[in-house]
Amino acid sequence: MSQDSYAEQLNEFEVEVECLMEALYLRWGYDFREYSRASLRRRVARYMSDNHYQRVADLQHELIRDKKRCVHFVRGLTVNVTDMFRDPEFYKVIREQVVPELRSHPFLKIWHAGCSTGEEAYSMAILLHEEGLGERAVIYATDINSQVLEQASKGVYHEKMLSAARENYAGTGGPGRLDDFISVGYERFLVDPKLKKNIVFTQHDLVTDQVFGEMQMVICRNVLIYFRRELQTKVLTLFHDSLDMGGFLGLGMKESLRSLPNHIRFKPIDESARVFQRID
């Protein structure tokens, strides 16, 4: 075999990961087949070493038989780093450029897709509350993973995250203090229960599940980076179809629509903050 054709080949681990993804889809409907490969493989390798699996085949055998183990594995594949008011300038742009338009709606529906442990859904709830829109807004916060949603619905976070959260809040142009919306104790902080009244936490898989209808805003931060371009394109259509005409889309700070064929259905509101508006 020549070196060139060898270089085209996947190694054993890479082939096994492909098989594993196919198996998870066939057995439980979890579809990771169009996820970016470099980080997917890393996560599989990390899950295996954390959970003492020597061979992908052993892991696959167990995941096919044991739904609970599979849910645990999926959590390992998808768990993300998030933070209250992550990227303060994003929230500043929401506050200054999106909120004035949202005010014209008597009732607001916002979909936070891939909300992970919920910090940013609460951040948005705080922002809306400060802007006097809290009472008329519902935030649908969704994630593929039921375990992170359970954590999200509690609204309890470790105190070590608090200093970053306070610092972030200070950069959002907020009129008050973050501490007006949280209570601190026992090395934890708890978000004000009144914020939870406007948030619905529910499971949703961007790859296999359907449109959330008639939203005024969709927020999906640092999720698309884990998808291949084809899947990104498909999910962007899902967001488009979930939004009202003129509705807003907020992405992560390094996520771009430029390389996607359907990006022309959105116009940038703030290019660097990655806030877009549906225009067709």
- How far apart CA 273 and CA 93 sit, in angstroms, is 7
Please give the DSSP secondary-structure letter assigned to residue 279. -
Q: Hey, is 233 helix, strand or coil?
A: helix
Residue 205 beta carbon to another protein: minimum distance, rounded to whole angstroms: 20
> Which one of residues 72, 105, 228, 263 is an interface residue with another protein (CB under 8 A)?
228
Residue 254 beta carbon to another protein: minimum distance, rounded to whole angstroms: 5
- Interface with another protein, residue 87, by CB under 8 A: yes
Residue 151 beta carbon to another protein: minimum distance, rounded to whole angstroms: 16
Residue 102 beta carbon to another protein: minimum distance, rounded to whole angstroms: 24
Residue 194 beta carbon to another protein: minimum distance, rounded to whole angstroms: 30
Residue 12 beta carbon to another protein: minimum distance, rounded to whole angstroms: 12
Residue 50 beta carbon to another protein: minimum distance, rounded to whole angstroms: 12
Residues 244-263 that bind another protein (CB under 8 A): 252-256, 258-259
Residues 167-226 that bind another protein (CB under 8 A): 222, 224-226
Q: Which is nearer to another protein, 82 or 198 (CB)?
A: 82
Q: Which is nearer to another protein, 247 or 252 (CB)?
A: 252
Query: H helices within 79-218, ranges in order?
Result: 88-93, 99-102, 119-130, 146-154, 162-170, 193-196
**Max Cα–Cα distance, the chain, nearest Å:** 68
Q: Point out which span in 55-63, 79-87, 101-109, 124-132 binds another protein (CB under 8 A).
A: 79-87
Q: Which is nearer to another protein, 169 or 212 (CB)?
A: 169
Q: How far is CA 186 from CA 147, 156, 158, 160, 226, in A?
A: 23, 11, 9, 12, 35
Q: Which is nearer to another protein, 28 or 47 (CB)?
A: 47
> Which one of residues 50, 81, 245, 280 is an interface residue with another protein (CB under 8 A)?
81
> Which one of residues 27, 41, 69, 75 is an interface residue with another protein (CB under 8 A)?
41
- How far apart CA 188 and CA 95 sit, in angstroms, is 28
Count of residues that bind another protein according to CB under 8 A: 31
227 phi-psi bin (left φ>0, alpha ψ -120 to 50, beta other): beta
- How far apart CA 275 and CA 263 sit, in angstroms, is 13
- How far apart CA 96 and CA 172 sit, in angstroms, is 10
Q: Which is nearer to another protein, 4 or 280 (CB)?
A: 4
Q: How far is CA 141 from CA 48, 50, 201, in A?
A: 30, 29, 5
Residue 4 beta carbon to another protein: minimum distance, rounded to whole angstroms: 8
- In 3D, which of 96, 85, 30 has the Cα closest to residue 219? 85
Q: Which is nearer to another protein, 194 or 229 (CB)?
A: 229
Burial class (CB within 10 angstroms; exposed 0-12, middle 13-18, buried 19+) of 258: exposed
Matching residue, tokens 């499971």: 203
Interface residues with another protein (CB under 8 A)? 2-3, 7, 11, 14, 36-39, 41-43, 80-81, 87, 89, 222, 224-226, 228-229, 232, 252-256, 258-259, 272
